Structure 1
C-alpha cells in the first residue's frame, strides 16, 4: 500500500505516535520506517490526497507532535512513496545530507514575520507632505488643471515612493531581527504584504527574539500590520 510521508527524524527520536492517525478519508495509524540512523514517519493511504482542511490539519498535528520531542525534517504537504522499501532506499541514499540537516536544525524552530500596509490613505498623506514634487502635482490637479499627464505623473511618483518606503522598512525589520536567528531567508511577499521573512530561532534565544519582535511592533508607525507566526516546523530551512 502507498505511504504518505510526514517527516524524517533520527532513529532515536521518541516517536510518541500512539493514537495518532494520518491523512485521508480512511485514516490509518501513523508509524515509522527505519533505515540505519534515520526514520521516516508515515501512514498508509489508499487514495489520492488533496489539500483539504482536515488533511492539512492532520499533517500539521503530526509534525507538531514530533517537533515537541526532538528535531525533525518536516516535509511539505503531499509527499508520497509507493511502499516501505522505497522509503528505506530514499533514507539510505541521502543519509549524510539528512543527518547534517538534522544536526543544523537541532534545538531550533521556524518563525514567520510578515508586514503589510493597512492604511494607504495615511501613506499617501505622508508622501504628499514629504515630497514637494508630488505635493505640487496634487495641488495642480485639485486646482482644476486638465492636463491628462498630471495624474499619470503623480501616480508614478506615489508608486515609487511607496515602493522605496516599504523596501526601506522591510530592510530595517530584517536587520533588526536576524541577530536573534541562526539563519534567515526572505520570500517574495504576496500582496498586500511587503515583507515575508522566515527565521530559524534557537530555543534558548526565543524569549529575546519575541521581545525584540514585540518592541519593533510597538515602534512601527500606524498603518502597518506586523504579524508573527510560530513556532513552526523548520520548513524553510530543510535542504
Structure 2
C-alpha cells in the first residue's frame, strides 16, 4: 500500500502521536519512518484521497502537534510515496537539505498577515490629496468633461491606489521584519493589499505580536488586520 507523508523531523524529535489519527475514512493510524538521521511521520494512504475538510484538518493537526514538540518541516497535503522504503531512501538522499531547513526553522513558528483597507475612505483620501483627480471628478459631475474623462479618472485613481497600498504594505513589513528570521510575500487576493508570512523565533514572539497590534491600532479602523498563527512553517519548507 502507498504511504501518505505528513512531515519530516529530526531523529531526536519527540513524536507524540497519541490521540491523533491520519487521513482517510476510517482514519489511518500514524507511524514513523527513520532514515538519514531524520524521521517522517506517515500513515497508509487511502485510495482516492481528496482534500475534504476532515482530511485537511487531520493533516494539519498532525503537523501542529509536531510543532509543539520542536522543529518540523510540514509537507503539502496529498504527498504520497510508494512505500516505507521509498520514504526511507528519500530521507537519506535529502538529509543535508532537510537538516539545513530544520535548523533554519528551529524554535520558530509561522505567522501569516493579511491586510485590507475600506474602499470608501481610500478613494476619499485620493480625491482630497490629488488635485488632478479632484478636478477631473468635479468636471465629470458638472458635465464639463469629455467622453474619455471617466476612463482617465479611473486610471489616475487606480495608480494612486496601487502606489499608496504598496507604500503601506512596505511600511507594515518593515515594522515587523526585525522580529522575524525570514519572510515570504504572497499574492494578495480579494480586497487585501498585503499577504505576508513571517518566520518568527520564539524569543521574539511576544514583541512581534505587540508590534503587530500596535501597527494595526495606529493605522486605524479603516484597516483590517488578520493575523493567523502560530503555524507550522508551511511557507518556509
Give the TM interval when normalised to the shorter protein. Answer: over 0.9
SS at match of 2:208: helix
Q: CA deviation at 1:45?
A: 2.1
Deviations 1:154-198 (A, max 9, x none): 111111111111000001001110000011111121222111111
- Alignment of 1:108 with 2:112, yes or no, is no
Distance across 1 between alignment mates of 2:75 and 2:155:
43
Mean Cα deviation higher: 46-55 or 207-216: 46-55
1:202 corresponding residue in structure 2: 201
Q: Which runs of structure 2 are paired with 1:142-161 in the superposition (5 Å)?
A: 142-145=141-144, 147-161=146-160
> Structure 1 regions of 5+ residues with no counterpart?
none
For the aligned residues, what is the CA RMSD?
1.1
Q: Quick one: distance in 1 between partners of 2:46 and 2:105?
A: 33
> In the alignment, is the contact (CA less than 8 A) between 2:45 and 2:80 conserved in 1?
no
1:200: how far off?
Answer: 0.6
Q: Which string of whole-angstrom CA distances, capped at 9 and with x for unpartnered residues, describes residues 37-65 of structure 1?
A: 11000011231211110111111110111
Q: How many Å apart are 1:100 and its aligned residue?
A: 1.2
Could you tell me how far 1:146 is from its partner in structure 2? 5.5
Which whole-Å CA distance do the structure 1 matches of 2:221 and 2:29 have between them?
49
Given that 2:23 and 2:46 are in contact with CA atoms closer than 8 Å, whether structure 1 keeps it comes out as no
- Whether the 8 Å CA contact 1:27–1:45 is kept in 2: the answer is no
Q: Size of the alignment, in residue pairs? A: 237
**Aligned mates of 2:85, 2:146 — CA distance in 1:** 72
Indicate the residue corresponding to 1:83 in structure 2: 83
Farther off after superposition, 205-214 or 32-41: 32-41
CA contact (8 A) 2:63 2:232 kept: yes
Mapped contact 1:2–1:45 kept (Cα < 8 A): yes
Using the TM superposition, name which of 45-54 and 67-76 deviates more: 45-54
Question: Which residue does 2:53 correspond to in 1?
Answer: 53
Provide the rounded CA distance (Å) in 2 between the counterparts of 1:146 and 1:161. 21
Task: Give how far 1:124 is off.
Answer: 1.2
Runs of 4+ in structure 1 deviating by more than 4 angstroms, as ranges, are none
> How far did residue 28 of structure 1 move?
1.6
CA distance in 2, matches of 1:71, 1:48: 31
Q: Distance in 2 between matches of 1:45 and 1:79?
A: 9
Q: What secondary structure is seen at the aligned counterpart in 2 of 1:104? A: helix
How far apart, CA to CA, are the structure 1 residues paired with 2:136 and 2:46?
Answer: 65
SS at match of 1:68: helix
